Structure 1
Amino acid sequence: MKKICVFTGTRAEYGLLYWLMKDIEVHPKLELQTLVSGSHCSPEFGLTFQRIVEDGFHIDEKVEMLLSSDSAVGVAKSMGLAVIGYSDSLNRLKPDLVVILGDRYEALALAQTAMIMKVPIAHISGGEVTEGAYDDSIRHAITKMSHLHFTSNDEYSNRVIQLGENPDRVYNFGSVGLEHLKRTELYDEAEFSQSIGFPIESDKFFLVTYHPVTLDSSETPEKAFEAILKALDSFPNYKVIITYPNADDGGRKIIPIIDAYTANNSERVFSIKSLGQKRYYSAISHCAAVIGNSSSGISEVPSFKKPTINIGSRQRGRVLADSIINCTPSMLSISEAIRKCLSHEFIKSLDVVLNPYGDGNTSADIIDVLVKSSVTDMKKFYDLPEFKS
């Protein structure tokens, strides 16, 4: 059996990988290995590795590497700790292939470790652009260390090829997270309210997730998030569910602001470190709008026929569905965007929105490639025809 090691370092990433992991686990020709790290192991961010266990997965390796720091220096040092831990884990697991999704610094640390240890990498969601975060550079760096590439649309496939990857190893299967639309049984309104212990009414609450912008110094996390909260106060008839930010530098500065806002508005506002994938997608299905700068607002929310208010520069450069409204991180701009998304005209337009990230039939296609592909040979740089001498 081919040993496939799936890496996850954050709650969001695990939510996207869930069905792919389930399918690898039951495939007769594949053996699932799990390597769990990053904020999954942090009490500050909810110890979300416990959710992985509750979902029935065995965690083969758990690497604690996240320093309790809110600085770039802390992130860089955490990456160093990660490399030390990952090298031991890969040496014990001896996988035939490592699956890495996205663009996180924990993932970069694993990619460079796997490259040195000659473990082939299958990379999911390469070729995308997020100009406001250093994740953008990380994503492209992981592409150059990977052997198989599973992208989410043709534009991203072309960009991976432009980076010098062989077209025969680049597959546009759509966003793996959209598997939840067809395969995850979501909570109805009453079930969801009971699951979080907070009463909600469908289409009468906002789902908010805002992450720090790591490249744009003009968009400071505290100032941007305060602008979001002031904008939300302009819509007192709507409740608010806020999830914690990720573990990027600057993220911890947002947490006390969330906690204080929740405490001062306990009848209207609910905050949580992590909803988990079922509750998160259920929240999307019932909310009036998703507000913030999470990638899920770009790639998954459009399929729910729900509006996304995309704030600031973090996701700048991604392919966008017509259901996404961009705005600056100012109270006035966010308020105007929310008013637009609540208008009868905009709500009606959501019925015909098409998601450029696929239709939720991704996992089986990826599995087929993992089973059939041989990636033991050395990589060669692929020159685009127009640049060949």
Structure 2
Amino acid sequence: MIKRKICVVTSSRADYGLLYWPMKKIQDDPDLELQLIVTGTHLSGSFGHTYKLIESDGFKIDKKIEIIESGDSNVAVIKSMGHTLIGFSNTFNELSPDIVLVLGDRYEMFAVTQAAFVSNKVVAHMFGGDTTEGAQDEAFRHGMTKMSYLHFTSNEVSRQRVVQLGEEPERVFNVGSTGVDYIKNLKLLSLKKIENDLKLTFKKQNILVTYHPVTLENNSYKEDFKELLNALEELGDEFGIIFTKSNSDAGGRLIGEMIDEFVEKNPSSFAYFSLGQLRYLSVMSKVDLVLGNSSSGIYEAPSMGVATVNIGDRQGGRLQSKSILNSSPLKNHILNNIKIAMDLDCSKIETPYGNGNSSSLIIEILKKFPLKENCLKKKFYHVERNYES
């Protein structure tokens, strides 16, 4: 029997954590062959050369494609997208996969999907249909949906949105989030191990902070993040603050510089480029609160029983558990929400993102879904609606 070749593309620490279990199950399945392309910030020393973590996890990397342009301006992002198209221009023809598996909504993954689509490859897209009203990712995600043939959504509302975009329901599957899979299968590090690895000592109360630039706002993220830092400074030394630095979006390096300045002045604060998924989730399990605008506060934190204060509009529109408080980017509002969140009991919080079997569902579909000749010629599926005059 000829194995079905599944080409997985990972570009950052964030998507790798969500792709780990699908990759592992593809690798272990006798009917499938894993092809792995590593790109983006994985290959950047500024972000910790995280491709080494992928190799240490036992995965063979078939291709490393460098795409990141120096700098964090919109121009640098556009150039990185161009590098992605050029770098991937012949890759899919060389590897000749049956299916290309992509995840999410990042600008570089949008360009990867473009390259796969123009190369006439079947694209399977994880987590289309979500909404993030404050970020360019919203448009990238929906664009990736229209270039994809198979769709794996994280919840039922997102499944309906993908169908609303014209995708035939029989190709759209609500599988839940693979982030929940990762948590369910993870053996977390002990507090002592975390403290030894990160060279810090936890305080009585601790906050994990991840904040990314809001790409649809005109540089207001600088002032917004300054408000967050002012709020943290007012908490004083009784709180331990653990920062993970921003992604490669325009403005990410400035956020990193502001974090470094804060940590230098506040001895109970620590900052890291990349903790890796195991350390990151282990830290999350030990803190009292996740603070910022990262999707991990929406997806993973509720499954860990940890409260989230979500700041601003970057995650606007995503389904949320009751452990998540939304705050404007103003110091007093942030402080008030931190106080409320610290008193929340999140031990029995339910999440709308599945029960930890998402990867198994994805693999069965990748393995068995029929790929008919000319299947890329998709018909637009019209959703019947009753419009009032």
Identify the TM-score tier after normalising by the shorter chain. over 0.9
Q: 1:323 & 1:145 partners in 2: Cα distance?
A: 35
1:143 to 135, 142, 145: 145
The answer on whether the counterparts of 1:262 and 1:269 sit within 8 Å (CA) in structure 2 is yes
Asked whether 1:265 is paired with 2:261, we answer no
Matched positions, count: 381
Asked whether 1:26 is paired with 2:53, we answer no
Q: 2:369 & 2:197 partners in 1: Cα distance?
A: 42
Task: Give 5+ residue unaligned stretches, structure 2.
Answer: none
Q: 1:330 & 1:26 partners in 2: Cα distance?
A: 48
Partner of 2:239: 238
Partner of 2:43: 41
Partner of 1:385: 384
Amino acid of the structure 2 residue aligned with 1:299:
Y
Asked whether 1:353 is paired with 2:349, we answer yes
Partner of 1:371: 367
Give the CA deviation at 1:286. 0.5
Q: Deviations over 1:264-320 (max 9, x none)?
A: 223x11110001010011011111100000011111111111100100110111111
Partner of 2:216: 215
Q: 2:154 & 2:123 partners in 1: Cα distance?
A: 17
Partner of 2:248: 247
Asked whether 1:63 is paired with 2:59, we answer no
Q: 2:7 & 2:220 partners in 1: Cα distance?
A: 36
Give the CA deviation at 1:92. 1.7
The answer on whether the counterparts of 1:148 and 1:170 sit within 8 Å (CA) in structure 2 is yes
Asked whether 1:121 is paired with 2:117, we answer no
Q: 1:386 & 1:310 partners in 2: Cα distance?
A: 34
Amino acid of the structure 1 residue aligned with 2:380:
F
Partner of 1:190: 192
The answer on whether the counterparts of 1:221 and 1:253 sit within 8 Å (CA) in structure 2 is no
Q: Deviations over 1:43-83 (max 9, x none)?
A: 12221111111211111111111111221111111101100
Give the CA deviation at 1:15. 0.9
TM-score normalised by L of structure 2: 0.95
Q: Percent identity?
A: 45
Q: Deviations over 1:84-127 (max 9, x none)?
A: 11122212211111111100011100111111111111100110
Amino acid of the structure 1 residue aligned with 2:194:
F
Task: Give 5+ residue unaligned stretches, structure 1.
Answer: none
Q: 2:34 & 2:213 partners in 1: Cα distance?
A: 33
Q: 1:108 & 1:258 partners in 2: Cα distance?
A: 29
Q: 1:181 & 1:75 partners in 2: Cα distance?
A: 32
Q: 1:188 & 1:225 partners in 2: Cα distance?
A: 31
Amino acid of the structure 2 residue aligned with 1:307:
A
1:152 to 151, 154, 157: 154
Q: 1:142 & 1:300 partners in 2: Cα distance?
A: 23
Moved more, 354-363 or 135-144: 354-363
Q: 1:35 & 1:83 partners in 2: Cα distance?
A: 14
Q: 2:90 & 2:71 partners in 1: Cα distance?
A: 24
Structure 2 SS opposite 1:368: helix
Structure 2 SS opposite 1:254: helix
Q: 2:202 & 2:55 partners in 1: Cα distance?
A: 28
Q: 1:257 & 1:365 partners in 2: Cα distance?
A: 42
Partner of 1:103: 105
The answer on whether the counterparts of 1:211 and 1:294 sit within 8 Å (CA) in structure 2 is yes
The answer on whether the counterparts of 1:128 and 1:318 sit within 8 Å (CA) in structure 2 is yes
Give the CA deviation at 1:234. 2.2
Q: 1:327 & 1:385 partners in 2: Cα distance?
A: 37
TM-score normalised by L of structure 1: 0.95
Partner of 2:333: 333
Structure 2 SS opposite 1:157: helix
The answer on whether the counterparts of 1:147 and 1:375 sit within 8 Å (CA) in structure 2 is no
Q: 2:41 & 2:347 partners in 1: Cα distance?
A: 36
Partner of 2:304: 304
Structure 2 SS opposite 1:146: coil
Amino acid of the structure 1 residue aligned with 2:195:
S
Q: Deviations over 1:20-50 (max 9, x none)?
A: 1111111001111111111111112221111
Amino acid of the structure 1 residue aligned with 2:273:
K
1:73 to 72, 75, 81: 75
Structure 2 SS opposite 1:208: strand
Q: 1:91 & 1:195 partners in 2: Cα distance?
A: 42
Amino acid of the structure 2 residue aligned with 1:354:
E
Structure 2 SS opposite 1:123: strand
Q: 2:180 & 2:322 partners in 1: Cα distance?
A: 17
Q: 2:135 & 2:71 partners in 1: Cα distance?
A: 18
The answer on whether the counterparts of 1:216 and 1:313 sit within 8 Å (CA) in structure 2 is no
Amino acid of the structure 1 residue aligned with 2:207:
F
Q: 2:222 & 2:105 partners in 1: Cα distance?
A: 23
Give the CA deviation at 1:216. 2.3
Give the CA deviation at 1:385. 3.1
